[in-house]
Every structure is written in C-alpha cells, then in structure tokens.
Structure 1
Amino acid sequence: MNRARKVKCDEAKPHCLRCSSTGRVCDGYPPPAPPASAQLRPLKLRSLFLGVSKEESRTLHFFCEMVSPNLPCATDPYFWTHLVVQFSRYEPAVRHSIIAVSSLYEDVIRARDNPSGARADRIRNNELALRHYNAAIRELKGIQNQGLVLLVCLLFICIEFLQNNRETALRHCAHGVAILASSGSTSLRWVREYLAPIFRRLDTLSFFFGSNQAGAHGVSILRYPVPPVFKHQSEAEDMVEDILNQAMLLISHGHSFRIGNDHHQPIPPELLQEQERVLCLAKQWYDMFTDLEARSKVQKTSIARAHTLARYRISVIWATQAFAHTETGYDDYEDEFRKMVEETEEAAAMECTESLNARPSFEVGFLMPLFFCTHRCRVLDLRLKCLQLIKTLAAPRERIWNKDGMYALARRIIEIEHGLALMTRIGPVWEETRVQKFCLEFADGRRETYFGHDVHGSRVVLFTGSRGVKSYLRPEVLTDESAHLNPVGKSRTLLL
C-alpha cells in the first residue's frame, strides 16, 4: 500500500508496477538486505571501545581495516574480522593482544615497503606492542574461561610470528594443544568451530620446526571426527587438514627408512597399516567432497577450493611416498601435480591477485603447496608455472615462511636438478641429482628484521643421493630473491 496516495500494492516482483509506473515509492516492500560482501566487512570502531587513548584507538582501527582481513589468507576471514573484534570489546586481554598485533603488523609492512628506511631493531623494540603484550599477560592470569585462554593464546602466537620468534610461537602452540586436551573448552561451540581448526592447522609447524613427538600429540588431540556427509565447505577443509597432518606424521615415521639408518630394513607392518588407513581416509574425503559439490551450487573454481584440493593432493602424495627409498616415486604423480597447477591457475585467473598477496598472513596459503610442487615435481614446465604462481598467489610472509627466500630456494633446486643456470638445457632429472631434503640456517644466526632485509644470505644444505644409502651434502648460500610480479611488458623469463 502506498500510504501517501492510498494506492493498493499489486505485489508484483521485484517492484510494485502500480507505484513504479507512476514514479511513486511503494511502502509495501522491506528495504533490501545488504549484499554479503557488506555483511562481511570488519566491524567499525566507532563507539565500540571506550576509555582508550588516541594512539590505541588508531591502532585498533588499523587492526580492523588492514590487519584482520589479511591474516586469514585463503581461509574464512570471519574469525579475525568479527569474532576477535567482538571479544576485544569486553575482554581486556584480547584488546591488549590485538593492539600489540596491530602495532607489530604495521611495523612489518613498513619494513617491507621501505627496507632501506627501516631500522633493524624496530619490530623487536616496539614499545606500544611490548606494553600491551605485558598487559595481556597480566589480564590472562585472572581468566577462568578456557575458551578465552585459548583465544588469547592464539593471539600470542600471532605476536611471536610477527617478531619471528619461532621457538616461543611453538611453545604457545603446544600450550594451546594441551588446553584443548585437558579442559572442557571443546564443549563450547565457538571453540570447536573456530579455534580447534586453527590449532589443527598450526600443528603443521611441529613437523617442520618442532619435534615429531609434539606433532604426533597434536594429531591425536586434534583428530577431526569424520561426518557421514559434508554439509559445508568448512567441514571438508577441517578434515583435509587433519589428513595432511596424519600424512606428515607418516613422513616423520618413515624418515629413517628413506634416508636413515633403517634404509635396508623392512617397513614395520603397523606403519604399512597406518599408511593404508591414511590413504583410505583420503579417498573417503575425496568421495565426500565430490558429493558435496554435486549437491551444492558452490562455485567450482575458487581460491578456497583450489587451496583445499592442493592440500588433499599433497596428503596423498606424501602418504604414498612416506617409506619410498628413492625420489623417482614422485614421478608417478605427474597428473596430480598437473591438476594442482591447473586448478590453482584457474582460481588465480578469477581473483584480483593484488588483493591476494599484498600483505603478510597468519595462515599458510599457497606458499607451502606451491613450493612442495616445485620441489617434488620434476616436470620442468610445471615447475616454472609453480614459480610464477608463487609470485602471483603467495603472501609476502605466511606464518614464518618468507616468500622471497622460498622462491630463491625453489629456483636454486630447479637449477641444480636440471643442470642449468639460465634455461639453457632441458632434460630428465636423474636420481643422483635430486634434492631429497634441505636444512636452512640464517647466515648471521638470526634475522634482524621480520623480512630479513639486513641479512645478506642464508645458508642452506641440500641433501642429494643415489639408490644406495649415501647422501651427499651440498652447501649453498642464498640471498632472498624478490618474488614480486614483473611489470607488464617486462621479460617473462623466470630463471634469469
């Protein structure tokens, strides 16, 4: 009904024809709902926080507008853009923590955008961040809610990542897993839905930088219960992370059988059974995932989908090769590597790449899967595509992985294995030249800034070998190589 003229609404959709045809505004329709993109925007700070200084208010605003949208990388941003901000309104420990995170994050961006003007000790001597970090620690002592303790623990991990304090971050990760194991925090829905998946993804760090015992403990505590069917994409993402962690646990168990003292020993039956179980679980996941896509109308090409499928394919390859004595077994998975590259390329083509890789992230995005593909796939054209995708999709920093450094290492591995320097020769990669693994060490023992601009190089020891038990160590010194995209019109040669 148009109340001004008392014209009866004809209830036509999307607009009343009687009103719209005469230029009147119909009162019979509710206002349109805001678009989904507007609903997902970070909460505004106006009137959210009381009693904070001007400097703190500015830092909180920077967290909402710049930090929280970039931390999740390829994962769902809701936790960072909404949940963390909501808790910070009435939990001082959370508020102090995000002020510290925001201040450090801004320093990181400045150090990267203007490396020549950044002081080496700026990030480690940020007085505002240090003051609020200490205040958060004091507030944490009085919190009885274990869910909130886990949330603050997660923010502490983020603070240590930003300062490049790997060991301290790993201790916080272990503490968080211990809380999940010993308390009733998982009875809280928001803990199960948001915090447990993040700690499950963090457990990957234990296998790369911690101990296998810590990783195994995390896998057992953070095991994802397999549902009858996937109802949402997030369930598929959570389960594939669990499978990836189990595959990494297999890799750690198989180390001594691949290149260690047990190289000629038979694989214990219990390990072979575990390998079969993980591979069956991965197959079950893929069947459930394809069923989810068949039932739903989700977009079949997206960054989130490509990221999820990449982790699935890595899990299958890793689990299969856990006890392999040679590197040539990876050659059997050319089709999987090719699918991974094609799916990632298609997703990248549909996204604004400048928004994907502009800022550091708390989560691991595409850097790890693309580096894995570059390292283990010996098909040169796919390796070169992966190098380009690292430039396109990887964030400058993903947790404690540096894009420029990993790009330089991936490029050097390709040059060594293919026996080329400037793309002068293409041929097969022999077993004797294949890089089995590598160990990284900063040249000065420690980077002075988050992005390492004051370090002239990093020592890396590459392990190459043959079909026997011998391994050969090849020391190299790498400088962080810019993995930024070339301007349009510049040379597209990747290895020059």
Structure 2
Amino acid sequence: MEEFRNNRQPQPSTSSKSGSKTAAPETKRSRVVVSQSKRGCVTCKTRRVKCDEQKPLCRRCVQAGRLCGGYSHESQLSGALQPALKIGIRTDNHTERLSYLAAQVLSLDNDGRPLQQDCVWGRIFVQLSNQVECVKAAAAAFGAAYESSLNNAIAKGSSSAWRYYGSALTTLQSDLNSKAAGRESLALASMILACVEILSQHERNALTHFLGAVQILTQTYQSCHGVPPTDILDKINDELVRINLLIGSYALSQTPSAMFLDFQEIDIGNDAFREPELAINTAMLCLHRSYQFIESAARLRYTYPSWKEQDPVMCKGQSDAVTECRSVLDGLTAVATRLQARYSGAASTRRESEELAEIYAIRAQLRSTIIFLLCAHSPFQTAYDEHLDEFRAVVSDAAASARLMRRAKPGVYKRFSTRPGIVGPLFIVSMKCRDTPLRALATTMLNEQGREGPTDGRIMAAIGARLASLETSACNTSSPCTTLAACDVLEGQRVHGYGVSPPRVDGDGRSVVDVRFSRPKVPLLLGWGQVDYSCLDNWTFWSEAIDI
C-alpha cells in the first residue's frame, strides 16, 4: 500500500485570541490499492494472495510446491489456508491440472520439493511430461486415476479417469507408429500407464505396459550397436527393474530372456553402503537377483520332495542367494545405525526419518525373501515352520518402518512409490507363518496400512484373516483354550496359493474382491509319488468374495 500527498504545500493555520482564523488548504490523502487479481488462479484466490496469472499453472503455486487450481472462477474452496486443491475442482485446462497432480504424487516429496533431481521421477519426469505429448497424456491419466482413488471411485469405474487413460493409450500408440517421440519418452509413458494400472489394482494390465516399456528399451539398446546408452536410458532401465520388483513380486520376477533388463552392476562391498540411497539400490539389486532364483527354483517345486540332494547346481545357487541377502542385511543394519544416531539428535530432519523408514522396509523385504529362498527346495508348506525367527524379524522391521512413517508429517497427497514397502512382507507372514499369535499380529498391522503400490493393506489383511480361518477351522487341540501352534495346522489343511481380482461393487453395493484359493486335491504327504502335482487337474480351486 502506498501513500502520497498533494503536491501543494499546506500552509500552517494560525489563530488569535480574538478568534480570527486564517484559512489553509486541506491536506488530501489518497490510497492506491493493488487489488488481488479477479482472474487469479483458484488456489491464490483461496489463500488471498496475489497471483501472477501465468497459464496454464500459476508460477507462484508451482514454486511453492502447491497444486495450482487453474482458472475456474465458478468454483469455491472451503478452508482459506488449505495448501492444495480439494478433489473435484473444475478448471479450464484439465490435462494441465491432472499432469501437475501426477507431478505432486510421483515427483515431489512431502514438503513439495522435487525428489532426487537425476532420478526418473525427478528431473526426467518433469522435463518429459512438459515437452512430450505422450508423456503428458500418460501423466494426466495417472492424475485422473489418483484423483478417483481419493474419491474411492476406482472400484466403481470412474468414467473421467478411464477417458484420460484411453486418450493416453491412443497418443502413445500414435507416437510409437509415427516415431514422433524418442524411445526414452515412449518407455516412460508406458511406465506411467503401468503405474495407472497398479493404482487401479489391475496387475496383469500393469505387467503388459511394463513389458511394453521393456521391449521399447530392448530395441533401443539393440540399435545402439556398441554405442554407450544415454544416461536417461540407463536410469529408465533401473526404474523398470524396480517396477518389476513391485508388480512381479515373487511370481512374475523373471522377465522374458529375449528382453534386455537388468540393474547396472553394483559391487556389494563397503562402498555400497556409504549413503542410504546407494544402500537401497544395492538391496533392490539383491532382491532382483533373489527373485530370479526363486522363479527358476519354482520350476522344480513338484519334481522332487526336496531337490537338495538331487540338484547340486540349484543348491549352490540357493546358498549364494541367501549369503548375498544376509550380507546386504548386515550393510543395511550399519546404515540404519548411523541414521538412527542422527535421527535421535535434535537436528534430525524429516528426510532422515523417511530414509530410515525405507531402510527398515527394505530389511523386511530382504528377510521375507530369505524365507522364500530357504523354502525354495521343498513343495511342502510345513517347510515354513522352521523359520519362525525370520518371521519375527520381518514383523519387527515392518513395525519400525511404520512407526517412523507415522511420526513424519503427512503430505497433502501420499506419494506413489515404485519401491516395495512393508505390506508385502507383512502379508507373507500373514499367509505363510502358521504361528497363531504372530500371524494375527501381522494381519492387524496390515489392516493399519493404506495403499502401497498395487496392494492395499486392508485388502491383504482381509485375505490373510480368511486364509487363517480356512486353515485353523479344522484343527483339533487338546484343550479349547490352547493356542494353536504351527504344528497343529496339518499339511493337508494348508492353503498353498491365492489370486485376487481387482475390487468391484457387488449387487448390494458393497466393495468386494474375488479371491481364488488353491490346495492339492490329495495332500502332498499322502499323494507324493502317485499324483502329478505339476498338473493343474490335481489341484482344487475355489473363489470367495471378501468384503473390503
């Protein structure tokens, strides 16, 4: 606000005792008001600050890490200081708004700052989503799907979200055919669409997009003819490995051999654990290799009751994989100790808390992977009963990670990460650990978790609870008050596997998931040597709709 005086100098007024007065010109004051723009963005108008009116997104909002609401002047927001848009605000440029929402979720931390500048979901995503049409369309599709997930509309099938998704598919196919976009842009757009399907819990569709990105990358590397790939291609390759870990887990971890996909080599030595980020990358590489071994071992699962004495090559591979996992665990323990010392100090930062939480989550992943590695030689579910200490360690690390994340100040939007977290390890305990108290604890912890990549903790908890009920309902103990031990759950009563469809709304308006359970028709202990368990005809499958 400015003040200024009339350029005429005022004359001092005089008065005498006789009451005579000398008239003087009156001082005039006027106010020049810099009013708030009536055409400013929704967010600036709500916050009652001046908007710079840059289109399509206000620069003031972008620089402050806030979600710019665009320039729709018919909509009103409640809560003048709310730092981001309420869901459902209409703007004159939906694609730009949704693309920026995708950046908020994929590329910014809880403080609104960009993630690591040189990673895929940092500078690379921001640059390509602003410059390349197919990447921008994919980003808008992700933003629309994320918005629908906040409104719980994905299970009901949001027409708006799938309209953007269809448009992104069309744009990607067009750019692929016309070669209007570079290979790195096409691969990134496919990765973003895989994330849309992950968010929507359509894991098979996510795998299709993932494999499309792998194929694009493979063709790119093959066409290089010895020329070193660009830095951006290497980073996209490494991110594809992480997505493979997320959507493939233990069942689909082996990428088709005709396609190029592997981590850039990292020496697992002391230097690999200098910094948290490097340590996490080392652990991801270890998980990738372990999952590949587990997948190869699965082909022998029903060939022998145990291939430990039948296949020395596989025994060596199993031993090497377990040793590598334990070595990485030791390295992560050292990193966690250093971070814990800093986190306990007065000068600890939120980022350090988040890094420590992620280290504990990766530790839980590694421990659950060790359990699968140690049981890879045996088709019997009772093999898992030998690793109760490892199951306890999984729950302990998962609890530490969850506790640290609860202490961190939540962001306006929960960031979508392609890194594995604690839902998977906890579900493994809920599914494979038959110690009743520990299994129940893991299921309870699962129920307290939200969405994590393709999985929802509450859905996994419901599946785990039902699976436990199926296995223990036929158990007989000496006393009704006696807590069931793992040995009380007989091999023939154990569920071997499950499959889950995307959420749907049933005829009564309830959100449910259809879960398909499986167990051998003749228990392994009774039919081994007479029944071919590699044949699906010798298995029983049944489906149940479970409320979520």
**Aligned ranges for residues 249-328 of structure 1 at < 5 Å?**
249-258=292-301, 260-263=302-305, 266-293=309-336, 299=343, 302-328=356-382
Aligned to 2:35: none
Distance (whole Å) between structure 2 residues aligned to residue 41 and residue 313 of structure 1: 40
Closer, same or farther in 2 for the Cα pair 1:426/1:291, shift >3 Å? closer
Aligned to 2:130: 89
Distance (whole Å) between structure 2 residues aligned to residue 220 and residue 403 of structure 1: 29
SS in structure 2 at match of 1:222: coil
Aligned to 2:525: 467
Aligned to 1:55: 94
Deviates more, 1:308-317 or 1:136-145: 136-145
Distance (whole Å) between structure 1 residues aligned to residue 291 and residue 145 of structure 2: 31
**Aligned ranges for residues 196-235 of structure 1 at < 5 Å?**
196-204=237-245, 205-206=247-248, 210=252, 214=255, 221-222=262-263, 224-228=265-269, 229-230=271-272, 231-235=274-278
Aligned to 1:135: 171
Higher relative CO (Cα under 8 Å, sequence separation at least 6) belongs to 1
Q: Which amino acid aligns with 1:148?
A: S
Output one character per residue of 1:294-341: Cα deviation in whole Å (capped at 9) or x when no partner: 666654873212111011112222111110243333233222221221
Instruction: Calculate the TM-score normalised by the size of structure 2.
Output: 0.64
Closer, same or farther in 2 for the Cα pair 1:226/1:59, shift >3 Å? same
SS in structure 2 at match of 1:371: helix
- Structure 2 residue 206 is matched with structure 1 residue 147: no
Deviation at 1:190, TM superposition (A): 4.3
Closer, same or farther in 2 for the Cα pair 1:95/1:264, shift >3 Å? closer
- Which among 103, 108, 112 is matched to residue 144 of structure 2? 103
Output one character per residue of 1:265-318: Cα deviation in whole Å (capped at 9) or x when no partner: 653222112112212222332343344456666548732121110111122221
Distance (whole Å) between structure 2 residues aligned to residue 151 and residue 408 of structure 1: 34
- Which among 466, 469, 485 is matched to residue 412 of structure 1? 466
Aligned to 1:22: none
Contact kept? 1:251, 1:322, Cα under 8 Å: yes
SS in structure 1 at match of 2:499: strand
Output one character per residue of 1:230-251: Cα deviation in whole Å (capped at 9) or x when no partner: 2322222222223223333333
Aligned to 2:496: 437
Distance (whole Å) between structure 2 residues aligned to residue 219 and residue 436 of structure 1: 36
- Structure 2 residue 436 is matched with structure 1 residue 376: no
Distance (whole Å) between structure 2 residues aligned to residue 346 and residue 441 of structure 1: 28
Whose radius of gyration is greater, 1 or 2? 2
Q: Which amino acid aligns with 1:263?
A: P
Contact kept? 1:41, 1:81, Cα under 8 Å: no
Distance (whole Å) between structure 2 residues aligned to residue 462 and residue 384 of structure 1: 21
SS in structure 2 at match of 1:277: helix
Deviation at 1:262, TM superposition (A): 3.6
Contact kept? 1:107, 1:123, Cα under 8 Å: no
Closer, same or farther in 2 for the Cα pair 1:121/1:326, shift >3 Å? closer
Distance (whole Å) between structure 1 residues aligned to residue 101 and residue 167 of structure 2: 18
SS in structure 2 at match of 1:365: coil
Q: Which amino acid aligns with 2:322?
A: L
Give unmatched runs, 5+ long, in structure 1.
Answer: 1-37, 483-496
Contact kept? 1:303, 1:348, Cα under 8 Å: yes
Contact kept? 1:418, 1:426, Cα under 8 Å: no
Aligned to 2:215: 178
Distance (whole Å) between structure 1 residues aligned to residue 325 and residue 159 of structure 2: 42
Contact kept? 2:250, 2:295, Cα under 8 Å: no
Aligned to 1:4: none
Deviation at 1:82, TM superposition (A): 5.3
- Which among 414, 419, 426 is matched to residue 483 of structure 2? 426
Deviation at 1:411, TM superposition (A): 0.6
SS in structure 2 at match of 1:350: helix
Deviation at 1:157, TM superposition (A): 1.4
Aligned to 2:422: 366
Contact kept? 1:459, 1:478, Cα under 8 Å: yes
Deviates more, 1:159-168 or 1:410-419: 159-168
Closer, same or farther in 2 for the Cα pair 1:473/1:70, shift >3 Å? farther
Contact kept? 2:427, 2:464, Cα under 8 Å: yes
Output one character per residue of 1:375-407: Cα deviation in whole Å (capped at 9) or x when no partner: 122222221221122122341x632x3444322
Distance (whole Å) between structure 1 residues aligned to residue 404 and residue 243 of structure 2: 28
Aligned to 2:43: none
Count of paired positions: 422
Output one character per residue of 1:96-117: Cα deviation in whole Å (capped at 9) or x when no partner: 21112111222233235xx9xx
Aligned to 2:194: 157
SS in structure 1 at match of 2:267: coil
Output one character per residue of 1:321-363: Cα deviation in whole Å (capped at 9) or x when no partner: 1102433332332222212212222332233389499869453
Output one character per residue of 1:397-443: Cα deviation in whole Å (capped at 9) or x when no partner: 632x344432222112222333389x97521233425535213264x
Q: Which amino acid aligns with 1:390?
A: L
SS in structure 2 at match of 1:203: helix
Closer, same or farther in 2 for the Cα pair 1:94/1:318, shift >3 Å? same
Distance (whole Å) between structure 2 residues aligned to residue 309 and residue 243 of structure 1: 11
Aligned to 1:187: 229
Aligned to 1:239: 282
Closer, same or farther in 2 for the Cα pair 1:476/1:406, shift >3 Å? farther
Contact kept? 1:251, 1:319, Cα under 8 Å: yes
Contact kept? 2:514, 2:543, Cα under 8 Å: yes
Instruction: Calculate the TM-score normalised by the size of structure 1.
Output: 0.70
Distance (whole Å) between structure 1 residues aligned to residue 166 and residue 460 of structure 2: 30
Deviation at 1:255, TM superposition (A): 3.0
